[in-house]
Amino acid sequence: MTTVRSRFAPSPTGYLHIGGARTALFAYLYAKQQRGTFILRIDDTDRQRSTPEYLEEVLDALRWLGLDWDEGPYFQSRRYGLYQEAADRLLREGKAYRCYCSAAEVEAKRQAALAAGRKPVYDGTCRAYQPPPGDTRPFALRFKGPKEGETVVEDLIKGQVVFQNSELDDLIIVRSDGTPIYNFCSVVDDTLLGITHIVRGDDHLANTPRQILLFQALGAELPGFAHLPLILGNDRAPLSKRHGATAVRSYREQGYLPDALVNFLARLGWAAGDQEIFSRAELIEKFRLEEVGKSAGIFNAEKLQWLNSHYLKERLLAQLVQEVKPFIVQKGYPLPTDDEWLARALATLQTRAKTLSELVELAHFYLSDEFTLEAKAASKFLTPTIFPLLRRLRARLATVSVWTEQEIEHVFASVMEEEQLKLGQIAQPVRVALTGGTASPGIFEVMVVLGKERTLARLDRVLPVSAASPPPPQS
């Protein structure tokens, strides 16, 4: 039985986008599900646009997503000798030929074909041309493809797709400056690396018949092909920046968790019944390339948020503490030095946030004493009639020796009983004083996390010097 060897082959000409990440994920899952090998190859033959910075971004995004490769990365820019050797072999065997047509001549032929209503394929001028001895003109190498019959792609997702060979022009495999082209390099690499399955986007399908012919010319065994449908926005248009972020790094910077994004990407075009939440192990166990749908996947940002909130709720606090720290620094808050305290603070907010970034925003009143009271909340709940009650509560809290929820609740209960009040009538003014607004975790939880000293100081901050004085302006 042939061992599955799949690959992901990004070009380091930009950030890893959502479509590329899904391709990498599906190739990874298929290899793992089949107990095969997942290979990373870097298609960096575009020397002008490929940069070390983009390469590191791609590698970092793959690592963050947890798509660890078993082999590689292999760099096409370091394998030119292999491509030249393969091209020379095709030329010797009469499966390639020298084309002396200039770029201007080829363009003129293309325009003439379009004007005549024909498909703008190369007309084969040099296909049988024999240059005179000593000819020093520059030339490109073209693959001599068959002009009769058809090439069939047996796609694992799309089914059988048939191409007429008469509509496939003689592909340039090496440019006149000696650089090999992508389609040729890809076939040579897939052959030498023993790739058994090529998982890639639907936009590569048009390249596939030419690549199949190249595989056959090189005497290589054909890999299986699986062309993934496009990812569309909610308006059914191809996913683009107008639908929101398209790069993996953008979602990382917004505070999404890699497990959530992987789960979301897996469900873009693939399903296993009605199940929505998958662990990594479940994805590997249940994923089947043959079950990927033929129709486009719809990118639903709300669903991604829902998934991320689920994974946030399930996160171990010790892990969440480390993951949230960069966002605390990014938002300009001093980084807490006590991880146990930070864990307690995050525990009160963990079920409320959709992203790590939002989690830090919700935790603003824990992370800094410098916050502004919401004007509407302050005017409603911090009124002159409430100040005597807050003074009494503050005095009672100051006597608490063991600062626990139970002891704090006991103080509130005693004041409420004396004043014949309900919890909301006293808790809401306190909540506004301590957090700046009317929405927060349970007030007793908040007070325990803040600690006695900070709690009393914040009550003091909103209490006027005298009952007739307005509260001091808030920063």
Regarding beta strands 140-143 and 96-99, do their DSSP bridges make them parallel or antiparallel, or are they unpaired?
Answer: antiparallel
Given 119, 241, 294, 313, which residue is catalytic? Answer: 241
How far apart (Å, rounded) are the C-alpha atoms in residues 213 and 87?
A: 14
| SS3 letters across the chain | CCCCEEEECCCCCCCCEHHHHHHHHHHHHHHHHCCCEEEEEECCCCCCCCCHHHHHHHHHHHHHHCCCCCEEEEEHHHCHHHHHHHHHHHHHCCCEEEECCCHHHHHHHHHHHHHCCCCCCCCCCCCCCCCCCCCCCCCEEEECCCCCCEEEEEECCCEEEEEEHHHCCCCEEECCCCCECHHHHHHHHHHHCCCCEEEEEHHHHHHHHHHHHHHHHCCCCCCEEEEECCEECCCCCECCHHHCCCEHHHHHHHCCCHHHHHHHHHCCCCCCCCCCCCCHHHHHHHCCHHHCCCCCEECCHHHHHHHHHHHHHHCCHHHHHHHHHHHHHHCCCCCCCCHHHHHHHHHCCCCCCCCHHHHHHHCHHHHCCCCCCCHHHHHHHCCCCCHHHHHHHHHHHHCCCCCCHHHHHHHHHHHHHHHCCCHHHHHHHHHHHHHCCCCCCCHHHHHHHHCHHHHHHHHHHHCCCCCCCCCCCCC
State phi, psi for 228 to the nearest 5 degrees.
Answer: -80, 140
Q: Is 241 a catalytic residue?
A: yes
In the block, tokens 């009143």 appear at: 365
Structure tokens at 121: 């394929």
In angstroms, how far apart are the furthest CA atoms of the chain?
112
Q: Which residue in the block uniquely carries the two structure tokens 């041309």?
A: 129
* Residues noted as catalytic: 241
